Each structure stands twice: as C-alpha cells, then as structure tokens.
C-alpha cells in the first residue's frame, strides 16, 4: 500500500465540550507538510490524534489504508514523534538516553548500539554523544529529540512546534535537518512560525479555530493574497495605533518613518503601494479572511 496518511472529517471534542478539531480532511504523501496555524488553532491536538495518543471523536485517520484507531500498531511501528514538550534525563549522556528509549520502544537489542550511533550522526551529535544532556543547549536537545524519533527508521515523522525557544542559528540548522530527513518519509511539521516552513515545506495545511482553512502549495496560498498587500510608511509615533486597527506583517524603521507591510481588504492610505505577497503576508491574509484576530 502506498505511503499515505488520509484524514477523513477528523474531529476531536474534549469531555467539557470544547471542540479542538472539527471536520479536518486532507491526504498527505511523502515530503514535508507544514501544518501552520496560530496558538490554539488545534494543531497539537491533531498531532496527538495522528500519533495515536488520542482517538478522534469523529471521522477517521487512515495510514496506508488502515484505520489507526482499529490498528494503531500498524502506524506506531512506522511512526517517529517529537512532541512540543520533549523532556530529557539530564544526568544521562545522549547515547545512554537513546539506548534507554530504544529499549522502551522495543527495538531488538543486537542492533541498538549501531542504530543509536547512526541516529546521533544524522543529527550531528556524534562528537558530543557522551556528554551529559544537562550541558546541552536547547537546539542540541531538540536534535536529541529528532534522534529518538528516528530510532525505528520511521516512514511518518511528526514534529510539533520544534523550534520554540531556539535561537535563529539553531532554528535554521533544525530546518535544514528536517529537509534532509524528508526523502522517502512523510514529515509533518506543526508550527505557528511561518519561516520554519517557508524554505522546506512543499505543501501547507493551515488551521485556525480547529478547522482546516487551506491545503495546497505555498505558491497557491500566495496567489490568494494577491492584491491584498500594501507597503506604507507611517510616522513612528503612529505605529502603535496602526497596529491596533491594521494587520501588519512586518515593520522596519527608516530615517523617514516606519515602513510597514499591511494585509487587508483595502489599502490603509492613499499613498500605500501594492506589493507582491510573500508567504507571511498570505498566511495573515488567510487568517484575516477567516476572522482570526491579529
């Protein structure tokens, strides 16, 4: 069966009645799929459903044509998962920690040492594999997280908000690592940071309010925002007020004022100049159309 993950009207409602995910339907194939949305959009709940940690309350998820609720082990054997809150045992070295997790995952003992070394090399930690994790930086710990997700050589790799708290250099390194890992795998990268997926994802799925608002290529999303982005210069003392009434994707201070990019139905002023949208603009335009607050 082809390597494919299909969601059919998937929903998840908490016991208190809150509907975190509502009627999500999409099909994903090998490559990097960027799952994008603001905090509270339902992304993490959906990731828990896809990783079999939570059962959908409506709809179904199919992995290689098999319902993952009825046959969760069929997916779990091919799944690598890095949750948003990934913790480590700081007293252990990276090598010791991965050997421990390999045992927890039930990997056959004879090949564990070699596989741990291979995963450490893939994430660029082989030179520091015997250092205690307590001395690792945030970016290095995230690479340990990816290494543990790769122990079983998964065909489906899910990473949830992996760059939160990382500095810019570590964020770029992490994005490059995910791009290298994609290959014949399906990698789902869930984030609210557009730059995390801009350079690597070939397909986007955008959520807000628990619903899927867009599924397609970055180029298609940018095309939807064409004609709705303007560049405008505002006085520095007026920027705060402008932010309260306009959806501003970025602002740069210049000698003559603050240059802003504004997304909306109409130009913010008569002297605003239309510009071609980038992915950040297009994402904000989509949220604006669906009533998500700035």
pLDDT at 210: 95
CA dist 248 to 85, 103, 193, Å? 30, 49, 15
- CA angle at 69 for the pair 14 and 40, rounded to the nearest 5°: 35
pLDDT of residue 142: 87
Q: What are the φ and ψ backbone dihedral angles of 291, each rounded to 5 degrees?
A: 75, 20
Residue 107: φ, ψ to 5°:
-70, 145
What pairing do the DSSP bridges indicate for beta strands 203-208 and 58-63?
unpaired
Helices (H), the chain: 43-50, 72-76, 94-104, 112-122, 138-150, 168-182, 194-198, 218-224, 239-245, 279-289
pLDDT digit of tens for each residue in the chain (294 aa)? 688 999 999 999 999 889 999 999 999 999 999 999 998 899 999 999 999 999 999 999 999 999 999 999 989 989 999 988 888 899 999 999 999 999 988 898 899 999 999 999 988 899 999 999 999 988 888 889 999 999 999 999 999 888 877 788 888 888 888 888 887 899 999 988 898 888 789 899 999 999 999 999 999 999 999 999 999 999 999 999 999 999 999 999 998 899 999 999 999 999 999 999 999 999 999 999 988 776
Number of Cβ within a 10 Å radius of residue 278: 17
Residue 209 CB contacts under 8 Å (≥ 6 apart), including other chains: 22, 41, 42, 290, 292
CB-CB neighbours of 53 under 10 Å: 12
DSSP code per residue over 70-112: T-HHHHHTTEEEE-SS----TTSBHHHHHHHHHHHTT--GGGH
pLDDT for 285 equals 95
């Amino acid at each position: 069966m082809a390597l494919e993950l299909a969601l059919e009207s998937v929903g998840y409602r908490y016991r208190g009645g809150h509907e975190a995910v509502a009627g999500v339907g999409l099909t994903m194939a090998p490559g990097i799929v960027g799952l994008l949305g603001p905090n509270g959009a339902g992304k993490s709940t959906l990731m828990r459903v896809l990783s079999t940690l939570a059962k959908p309350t409506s709809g179904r998820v199919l992995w290689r044509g098999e319902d993952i609720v009825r046959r969760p082990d069929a997916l779990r054997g091919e799944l690598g998962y890095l949750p948003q809150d990934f913790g480590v045992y700081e007293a252990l070295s990276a090598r010791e920690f991965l050997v421990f997790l390999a045992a927890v995952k039930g990997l056959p003992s004879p090949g564990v040492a070699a596989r741990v070394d291979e995963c450490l090399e893939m994430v660029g930690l082989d030179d520091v594999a015997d250092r205690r994790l307590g001395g690792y930086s945030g970016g290095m710990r995230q690479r340990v997280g990816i290494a543990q997700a790769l122990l079983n050589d998964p065909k489906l790799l899910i990473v949830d908000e992996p760059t939160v708290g990382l500095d810019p250099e570590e964020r770029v390194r992490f994005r490059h690592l995910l791009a290298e890992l994609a290959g014949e795998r399906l990698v789902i990268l869930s984030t609210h940071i557009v730059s995390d997926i801009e350079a690597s994802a070939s397909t986007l799925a955008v959520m807000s309010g628990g619903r899927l608002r867009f599924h397609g290529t970055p180029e298609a999303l940018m095309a939807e925002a064409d004609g709705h982005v303007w560049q405008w210069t505002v006085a520095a003392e007026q920027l705060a007020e402008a932010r309260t009434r306009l959806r501003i994707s970025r602002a740069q201070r210049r000698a003559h004022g603050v240059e802003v990019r504004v997304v909306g139905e109409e130009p913010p002023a008569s002297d605003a100049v239309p510009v071609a949208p980038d992915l950040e603009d297009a994402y904000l335009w989509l949220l604006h159309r669906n009533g998500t607050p700035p």
